[in-house]
Structures are given as C-alpha cells and as structure tokens.
Structure 1
Amino acid sequence: MAIPDSQAEAAALLRRLAGGGDPIETHISAIFIGADTVWKLKKAVRLGFLDFSDLAARAHFARRELALNQPHAPGLYRDVVPITRGPAGLALNGEGPPVEWVLRMAPVPPGDFLDAIARRGALAPALLDGMADAVAALHQAAPPAPPGFDAPGAAGRVLDGNIRDCLANGLAEARVRALGGAMRARLDALAPLLAARATAGRVRRCHGDLHLGNLCLWQGRPTPFDALEFDEALATTDTGYDLAFLLMDLCQFGQRAAANRVMNRYLGRSGDVGLLAPLGFWMALRAMVRAHVAARRGDDGMAYLAAAEGFLAPSPPRLVAIGGLQGTGKTWLARALAPDLGAAPGALHLRTDETRKRRAGLPPEARLPAEAYAEAESRAVHAEIFAAARQALAAGHSVVLDAVFLDPTLRAAAESAAAPHPFTGFWLAAPLDLLRERVARRSAEGTDASDATVAVLEQAARADPGAIGWQVLDATAPLTPARATLALHPGTGA
C-alpha cells in the first residue's frame, strides 16, 4: 500500500533527511533509514483492524509505540516528534502547527534482525538463550489482564477472524474449513484451562507480534521491538500464545532445534509448563495468520496452512531419562534428542540444575551456595521435575529428564512418572579422568547451569548407584545408539 497522497509532502521531507533513499514500507508504515536516525511514519489509512486516518490518532499511536517498546529497547526508540509547517515550509520539530508525527529510532544493521540471522544459519545457542530470556523478561514485566478476562472467548474471536481471512484470501476452502473445525473442537476442550490461566495471571498485555523479524540484536542482546500498539484487545493475550509466534516462526525457518531450545529456556526461566497443553493450538493459530497474510501479498500461503495442520496433529508422548556422573554429557544428549521427540517443537527438557536455579530466583548460569544442594532441597527439585513431567505427558508432550540419578529410588521415580506412556532410560559412562577434565573446563568457563566441581564429581564417583537397569551408553559417542533405540530420525519430530 503506497503512502497516501495527503502525506506525500511529509514523506518527501523524510526522504531528504534520510539521504534520498526509498523507505521500507508495510501496509501501515513507511520507515525512512538515515545514517544515524530512522524515522517511522504511520500511514493515513483506515483498515478493518485499525484507523490511522486522523492526525490525532497517528500522534497517539506513535506515542503508544514509543511507550510500549522503549523499556525493552532503551536507545533504540528515541522520541516522537512533529513535522511542522512554518513560513519556509515543512520542518522536523520546527515552528508552526504539526502536520504529521514521526517516531525517531536508531538504525539497526540489516543483518542484525533475527530473521536475517536465521536465514544465514547463525542462531548460536547463546543467542537462542538470549532470545528466550528477553521474551521471559518482557512477559514478567507486562501488566496482567483485568479480572474476568474471557480468554477462551478472545481465542475464539481470533480463530473466527483467521478462518474468514483465509477464505477471503483464496486459500483452499475445504482445507480451511476442516482445519477451522478441528481447531474449534480443540479450543472447546482447552477452554477451562485457558480460563484458569487467565485467572492465574498468565494473560497479559504482551508484545502481540513476536515473530523473528520483530527481534534484533541491540547493544549485543536479542531485543524485541515493534510491539503491537494499535489493538489492546489483540495484544492482551496469553503469554504462551505470544511465545507461540516465535516458536512457529523458527519451525517454519527450518529451525525446529532452535525453537526447542528457546521453548525450554523460556520454560526453565518461567516454570510455565502449563502452556504446553495449548501450544499446538496456538502455533496452528499463528500459522493461520501467516497463511492468509502471505496469500494477501500474492505469496503461497498453503505451506503455512499445512504447518497449522501439522501443529494440531497429535503425537504420542514418551519420557526419556538421561543419567550419569557429572561431565558425562547428559545435557548435550538431552538437547540433541529433544527436538525430534513428539509434538512440535519437541520434548520438554527438564534439567535439575536449571530447576534448582529457578527455585532460588536466579538465572541458570548464576552460582548457588552449598546449602542449595542440601538433601531436602534436592528432594524438592526432583519432585518438581517429576510433577512437571507428568503434567507435560498428560498434555501430549514428550519429556527428557536430565539429572545425575545416582540414587536408584530416583531412577524408579523417573520410570514411574512416565506411566502409562513409553519410557526409555539412558546411563552415560566414561573414564573418570575424562570427566575430571570436562568438569574442570566447564567450571572454569562458568557459562553452564551446573555448579559441579571436580570435588563434587569425585564424591559422586565413590557412591554406589546400585544396579543400572537403563541402557548404558559410551559418553564419548552417545547420540547414534540413543537415536537408534528411540527410532529417531533427525528433524522428523518422530
């Protein structure tokens, strides 16, 4: 959609300020990128879902965009200024009455947007963890919905709107109606849970448009920006639905392993295992949005429609437990297996080290004192991961448990947590000298959730684990036999 004629003069001024280049345009904005400043102009348009036709509305929503985004992206969002008309014509923030309002921002290199990083295959683990941390922090700071918020009703309205838009934009009618019917049935089943999540404060004033293109590297960190400013009802939603857009987008970029890591890091920070039950529905709903948007642009939306069908399809869950001494690579193996287990974007990875940190109110990489490893706290940590595993399995999601599991009673508890679903236990083993080397290196780096030292390892090595009934794997090369046991094929989500 072109810039309206009524804004042509203001657009010409911004083009000159930006050095003469054409703006980047969406259907509601024009973004003029200069050497050290970006100017964002809201188009004077009235669409079915917004009305920017009035100057006062454009001023209001420019300020609203600034207020929503500036706390999470300090320095990226600068201010809102008028374009004024004076004796010499139009000027930015000059004398005379405002004729337009623009949002001023700092420029971001094109390669620093997360969708661009995903396209070049550069989503490193630390970057994925940072993405999840940023989203978790955004949700933690977001104000909750008012009491009595009708979460099932809101989801139903979004679903109905997406069905209409898919049909209106020419997507295959039979498939759209079949998918819509299946999603309505799933929503009806989820309604009590969605309502309970709203009561528990999980519905908040979220970002609202949290896809990869709306995150960038800013000051070295993944940073959400361009939060939905023009529709409070649409942006007031379950935090899990907000996250689902990012997970769906990663999957559609062919980055299911990345989506799995982001999901698990987010859950490790928030503890919100309850979002797994509606996650397939939410990801399907986000894929439907992308399907009709793509079709409206003249692109093929059927790939997104097929993705929505896949996200909604059930996948029988299973529980995999991985035990062994410190340094055997339990977490490495868990992260390698989890993306290909069960429903998208893969299994819930429950790690005692991360659960212990969250219970202490700390990020995973923070160090804990010795008393945090007292027997009573360790029992509570294991009880929590077993309860979370049962909850996830009941929601239809596979689980990978990641703990030392030296105590035979804990191994038995892990097996019991799986019932009635399939269970597989792996025990990693390696020479003690190799484990000492690994643990010493990890302790020196200080970038992992494990607080284990060589002394802790050696104490554990002296303990008697009892008879090991789980499949014993060589910790120097555990992945191939583990995949064979589970009949997994990388990237299939089997």
Structure 2
Amino acid sequence: MSIPPAQAEAATLLARLSGAAPVETHISAVFVGRDTAWKLKKAVALGFLDFSAVDDRERFCRRELALNAPQAPGLYRDVVAITRGDDGALRIGGDGPAVDWVLRMDPVPPADFLDAVAARGGLAPALLDAAADAVAAMHGAAERAAVDAPAALSRILEGNIPAARRAGLDAARVEAWAGAARRELARIAPVLAARAAAGFVRRGHGDLHLGNLCLRAGRPVLFDALEFDEALARIDVGYDLAFLLMDLDARVGRDAANRVLNRYVARTGDAGLVAGLPLWLSLRAMIRAHVEATRQRDGAALLAAAEAHLSPAAPRLVAIGGLQGTGKSTLARALAPALGRCPGALVLRTDEARKRRFGVAPEQRLPPEAYAPAVSAAVHEEVFDMAVAALAGGQAVLLDAVFLDPTIRTRAAALAHAAGLRFDGLWLQAPLEVLRTRIAARRDDASDADEAVLLRAAAADPGRIDWQRIDVTHDGEGAARAALGKDA
C-alpha cells in the first residue's frame, strides 16, 4: 500500500505530527499520535468509491463523522482542513486554501480493537453481550430504508462473483457457490421482501467485523461505518449483524457467535432474522475470502465456510424446564452452539422476553406486577410465536422456561410436531437446598426469582412430567447431551 503522490506532502505533515508511519488500508491512512489520530482518505477511484477530488474527500469525511459520532462518542472529534499558508507550508487548520481534509480522532490503543481482543482470548461473555447490545442499539436508532431487499442482495451477490474470480479463488468452487447462493436467494426472497416491508431494512453499519469495534471505557463501541455507498449500507439488520457473527465464528468459534446472536435477539425480539442467516453468513464469508486472497493471504477457510453455510443442518426444538436455580439458562447456553446450523440454536428465554416487554435490559429487576398471570401468559405467547418464526426460518430453537404448567409443556411439544420436527424436553432437578444456595448466589441475571418464588414453585404440582429428567446437583451437561443425541 502507498499514499498517492498528490497527497505525499500532506502525509509527511501528518507523519511529523503523529511521530509514526500510518496504518493503511487501500482507501485510507491513519496517523496515530500520542493524543490524536488523523485519518486521511486516499485520493483513489476504485470503481465502488471515488475519493479522487478534494471536495469529495471533505464530503465523505463529514459523512463518516456524522455516521459514527453517535455510536462512538468522543472517538470522532471533528473534520479539519489541511491548508497551505502564505509561507507555502501545510498545516492543520489555518486560513489558507484547503489542499486536503482529515478526520481528527482519539487514538485507540492497538490492543483495544476487538479483533485484537479476540486474538488474545479476551472476548468474555459479558463483553460479547455488550457488543450485541451496541449493535442492537445502533439498529434500533437507525433510519428505515425503502429498498427492494431481494434485488439489492442479488446485486451484492453478483458483484462478488467476478471479484472472487479476480482474487484467484478456485473458479469451479466459486461457480458452484454462486449457483447455490442464487437458489437460496430465490427461496427466501419473499421473506426478505416481507422483512423490508416491516421495517427491518435500515441504514446500518455496513462493515461490522471485529476490527470495527473497539473498547472505550471498557465497553465496545462501533466505529468506521461504511460512509461511501448508501446502497451497501441500507440493508436488512440481519445482514448487517451477519458480518459480526461470521467473523466471530471464524476467528473465535461457534460459542461466541451464538452468544451474540442470542443476546441481540433477546434485546430486539427479532427472531425472524434467522431465515436469512445461511445466505447472509455465506455471502459475508465469501466477501472476506476474496478480500483476504487479494491481500495475498489464505482465504481457503473462509471459502469453505461460505460453502458450508449454504448446506445447513435441519432445525429441531429443545425445551428445558425445571425449578428456579436448576441451571436451565446455563445449560441452554452450553448446548445451543452445537444444535442445528450456524451459529447454533436460538435460545428463547421467558425471563428475557419479560424484560424486553418492559423495555429494560435483561439484568434490570422488575417490580412484582410484571409477574402478574396475564403478563406471564403474554410472555409465553410471545416466546412461542418467536419459536414458530425461528423454526420456520430453519434455525434450531431452545426454549428456556420453568414449564411448571403441564399445558405449557404440551404446547411446546406441539410446536415441533406441527412443523414435523424433532422435539426433546429436558426436566432439570436437584435438591431444594442446592437450589436455594444457587439462587442466593445469582448476580446480573435475567431471572428475578428469589427464595420465596422458588419455595412457591416447589410446592406446586407440575403434573405428570414425561420429559427426560436430568439430575443437575453437580453437572448435568453430559447427561443432557446424551439425551439429545450425537448432534449435541
């Protein structure tokens, strides 16, 4: 990579101010100093973008600032001109004519980018949840876009086929992938169109991989949203999220991708997004594969992932019930990544649905009236509706609830049977004293149940339980996996 000759003088100024060589991509150069970073857009025209004119570089700098400042407060400071003074020298700001423009930003320590955090094994569950929360908040505030979603996705798909060939990926495999991707797009086109009509196409981030999240005050924030092509950024929120899921699956593993998917759906309620995941994940993997190949890096694993996403496993429904403190949610999180297609089962937890209904984070406690019978009935209806949508979209589903009422257990099984899918019910049990100890030790959990709630539930009659009983006094994960079969 290199700075275009016309910007060499500006680059020299920025290198002197920062005291360092730039961090470059094919479209920008970032000069990172001790207190300030300057981002210079390269004067290039690459077909999909044109930064060759000074006025356009200013316009796109200002667009980048407007898009990213709300998501990363304080990271983006302002847009400033590089001017030429009467003495002929270049400077930041000043009254002379602008010869270029830069974004002025806070510097980010290299270790604080989430791809670097991932590389050192630092993506702990709480950090993954916070990343998903940031994406959900961004999508919730994003403007809706009137887009022909199937046609727009088709243009993206078709545009990446020649790009993959030019990058040197195996031509026969690229052609086979293209055929499978076109068939999948034709199959889900009505669903994509319906989601667009329902407002799920929005002005998203557009480039949501781990390298475009960083830590600020210990929490992940989104930055570097795609500013130069509105068509590539006005997409289904699920396709936007899919880049992050694909990147997590490839770099970290299925558990991390599953956690982010489930946290995102817990915050948004958008279980229907799973219908597009095979194609969206595949397309994101193919894009990354040919980008890596163009950079003379090995894209083989990403190409294989792009192919695999279009051959997904069949969905199934698993329900986990039992008294408070039996570890239903812990077990659900452990089992979910291995169930069904990438990135694993959608975990639908009544505790999270209740918090979403009242517009609070899963960890925020609710008052007693939020647990009135009518509210609980509505929560179960919502969870069952989400399960139907996810199963219809081809994703495995794991229901997480107490399931004390036998009619609720019967309804859960009926969801799978109506769709012709496999159903497994797991009933967790442990001595009451064990459950009391666990509940007393809970912190930052979606469940508000205390010992009094547990004792009332333990005194109730659950009726005949015909689900597989799992003793979780110590660790029931092995028994649960055995009950679910080899795919778990």
**1:469 is the counterpart of 2:466:** yes
> Is this contact kept in 2: 1:317–1:397, CA < 8 A?
yes
> Is this contact kept in 2: 1:340–1:488, CA < 8 A?
no
> Is this contact kept in 2: 1:287–1:304, CA < 8 A?
yes
The C-alpha deviation readout for 1:243-292, integer Å capped at 9, x for no partner, is 00000000001321011010001001111111111111100010111011
Gaps of 5+ in 1: none
Distance in 2 of aligned mates of 1:100 and 1:387: 54
**1:176 is the counterpart of 2:174:** yes
Cα distance, 1:302 vs structure 2: 2.2
Distance in 2 of aligned mates of 1:283 and 1:55: 36
The C-alpha deviation readout for 1:411-444, integer Å capped at 9, x for no partner, is 11111111111111111111111111111221xx
| 3-state SS, counterpart of residue 276 of structure 1 | helix
Which residue number corresponds to residue 36 of structure 1?
A: 35
Which residue number corresponds to residue 425 of structure 1?
A: 425
Distance in 1 of aligned mates of 2:67 and 2:393: 33
> Is this contact kept in 1: 2:320–2:328, CA < 8 A?
yes
Which residue, out of 266, 269, 279, partners 2:267? 269
Gaps of 5+ in 2: none
Distance in 2 of aligned mates of 1:52 and 1:393: 45
Distance in 1 of aligned mates of 2:65 and 2:319: 46
Which residue number corresponds to residue 151 of structure 1?
A: 149
Which aligned pairs between 1:149-228 and structure 2 lie closer than 5 A? 149-228=147-226
Which residue, out of 268, 276, 279, partners 1:278? 276
| 3-state SS, counterpart of residue 79 of structure 2 | strand
| 3-state SS, counterpart of residue 318 of structure 2 | strand
| 3-state SS, counterpart of residue 428 of structure 2 | strand
Cα distance, 1:219 vs structure 2: 2.1
> Is this contact kept in 2: 1:334–1:349, CA < 8 A?
yes
The one-letter code matched in structure 2 to 1:54 is A
The C-alpha deviation readout for 1:114-156, integer Å capped at 9, x for no partner, is 111111111111101100000000001111103xx21111000
| 3-state SS, counterpart of residue 482 of structure 2 | helix
Distance in 2 of aligned mates of 1:209 and 1:92: 29
| 3-state SS, counterpart of residue 252 of structure 2 | coil
TM-score, normalised on structure 2?
A: 0.98
Which residue number corresponds to residue 106 of structure 1?
A: 106
Distance in 2 of aligned mates of 1:440 and 1:211: 38
Distance in 2 of aligned mates of 1:199 and 1:468: 43
**1:60 is the counterpart of 2:47:** no
> Is this contact kept in 2: 1:389–1:418, CA < 8 A?
no
Distance in 1 of aligned mates of 2:364 and 2:237: 25
Which residue number corresponds to residue 483 of structure 2?
A: 485
Percent identity, please.
Answer: 64
The C-alpha deviation readout for 1:381-427, integer Å capped at 9, x for no partner, is 11221222122112111111100011111111111111111111111
Which residue number corresponds to residue 136 of structure 1?
A: 136
The one-letter code matched in structure 2 to 1:37 is T
Which residue number corresponds to residue 97 of structure 1?
A: 97
Which residue number corresponds to residue 26 of structure 1?
A: 25
Cα distance, 1:488 vs structure 2: 4.0
Which residue number corresponds to residue 353 of structure 1?
A: 351
Which aligned pairs between 1:79-98 and structure 2 lie closer than 5 A? 79-88=78-87, 89-98=89-98
Cα distance, 1:240 vs structure 2: 0.4
TM-score, normalised on structure 1?
A: 0.96
Distance in 1 of aligned mates of 2:248 and 2:21: 30
> Is this contact kept in 1: 2:429–2:471, CA < 8 A?
yes
Computed over aligned residues only, the root mean square deviation of the Cα atoms, in angstroms, reads 1.0
> Is this contact kept in 2: 1:317–1:393, CA < 8 A?
yes
> Is this contact kept in 1: 2:468–2:483, CA < 8 A?
no
Distance in 2 of aligned mates of 1:12 and 1:376: 68
Q: How many residues align?
A: 484
> Is this contact kept in 2: 1:241–1:279, CA < 8 A?
yes
